[in-house]
Homo-oligomer: A and B are copies of this chain.
Amino acid sequence: MGRNNVTIKDIAQKTGFSKSTVSRALCYDAHVSPDTRKKILECAKSLDFQPNYFAKGLKTQCSKTIAFFVPNIEIMIYPAIIQAMEVETRERGYTILLCDIQEDKEIAKEYVKKLKGRNVDGFIFSTALLNVEENEEILEVVRDGIPCVNLLRTDGVSATSVRLDNAKGSAMGVEYLLSKGKRRIAFLQGQEYLKLYKDRYEGYVNTLLKHGIKIDPDLIWYGYRGSERVATKIIPEKIKSGIDVDALFCASDNIAVDAIHALNEMGIKVPQDISVIGYDNVPISELFIPKLTSIGQPFKEMGKKAVDVLIDMIEGKKANTIEDYVFDPILMVRDTVC
């Protein structure tokens, strides 16, 4: 039986140096002769020495751990992000702790408390709601002066953001639909408590106005009521009411999938009768039949960026000020627009 219990004391005895010198050699402290260092490193290697995490943490008060708060890991955008974050975190010598808060602020607050007790070095949140005051878990971390980044979901003010240019994505989608001759483009809005949907909506409005098309209130629909998915109910109602529509701009792929199911039910063909465009480019958009045209986010790069910015802040390479890192959306042309 045996975890590895080699300590610096063992190395000190084997090499004849003091624990102090061994510690300095292993931490690449400058004040140790090359010869001494070499002997100590060799000995450490031969004994398969692993420094005791707790002892180190107790002295330094650094855990080399960061936390990532996701609203719900079953949301299909997160796995790719998590993977990219994990690779980057590992390469920079840290460990990432995944916290699924299940859209519940109480769980988030509980986690923050627990993790502060573990001296987590920094936090990445993807849990910010539109109203800052509701983001208690983030505000608490910021108040404590612990480095912190908002990824994707942000309120724009509590901390540094790493996010998509959501309005631009809507502009790209609407421009594309216009280029295909669509003029009656309904907008299916997402959860209203998220800023990114506000931005997507504004992008839709401004792009139409820019092209001299008036906003028709009859074409502003909702894919969600609160956190409930309602597109499959709303769409038949709207269409049966006789509203003229030739395209659906959905604020998320979830809504687009619901929309296509609803249209299918009604015998309306996508894209021949009505074009549909989604947002986020989740993995299923490529597997879906017909393959879903969507506005993509560079998830992997954004995840990597969030980790890099955070660790730079932790290590003092970046000031702990509030920045806004904005990424460009990508139009994924597939089969639901014609």
Contacts and interface: CB of A to CB of B under 8 A. Distances in A.
A116 interface: yes
Interface string A51-84: 1111101100101000000001110101110110
A260 interface: yes
B97 A97 contact: yes
Copies in the complex: 2
A89 B4 CA distance: 25
B257 A287 contact: yes
Query: Majority SS of interface residues in chain A?
Result: mixed
Contacts of A1: 144-145
Contacts of A257: 287
Interface in A220-242: none
- How many chain A residues sit at the interface, stated as a range, is 35 or more
A23 interface: no
Contacts of A53: 54, 57, 63, 117-119
A16 interface: no
A100 interface: yes
A50 B113 contact: yes
A324 to B, nearest CB: 23
A225 to B, nearest CB: 20
B58 A82 contact: no
A3 B119 contact: yes
A288 interface: yes
Interface in A1-60: 1-4, 50-55, 57-58
Contacts of A102: 83
A1 B145 CA distance: 5
A243 B99 CA distance: 50
A261 interface: yes
Contact of A58 (B54, B73, B283): B54
20 contacts: A1-B144, A2-B145, A3-B116, A53-B119, A54-B54, A54-B57, A54-B119, A72-B83, A74-B79, A74-B283, A78-B79, A82-B98, A86-B100, A95-B114, A96-B98, A257-B287, A260-B289, A261-B287, A284-B284, A289-B289
Given A58-B58, A74-B79, 8 more contacts: A1-B144, A3-B144, A4-B116, A55-B58, A72-B83, A74-B80, A95-B114, A97-B97
